[in-house]
Chain A
Amino acid sequence: MNLLFPDWLPRSNTVNLLAGAFLLSALYAAAQRRLLAAITAYQWNSVALGLIAAVVAVVTGARHIALAALLVFAIKAVVIPAVLRRQAMRGGGDTVAEPFMGVPAGMLACGGLVVLAFSQTRALFGAGSSILASCLPVSVATTLVGLFIMVSRRRALMQVVGLVIVENAIFLAAVSLTYGMPLVVEMGVLLDLLVGVALLGLFVGRIEETLGDTDTTRLTSLKG
Chain B
Amino acid sequence: MHAGAIVLQTVLLVALAPLWNGVVARIKARLQMRRGSPVLQRYRDLLKLAGKETVLSEHASPLARVTPYLMLGAAVTLCTWTPVLTTRPGLAFAGDLVMTVALLAAMRVLLALLALEAGTTFGGMSASRHLALSALAEPALMMAIFTLALNAHSTDLARIAAAVEAAPAAWISPSHLLALTAVWIVVVSETGRVPVDNPVTHLELTMIHEGMTLDVSGHHLALLEWAGAVRQLVLLTLVANLFLPWGIADTLEPAALGLALLAWLGKLLLFAVVVALTESLTAKMRLFRVPEFLGMAFLLALIALTSDTLTRG
Physical contact A–B (CB less than 8 Å):
no
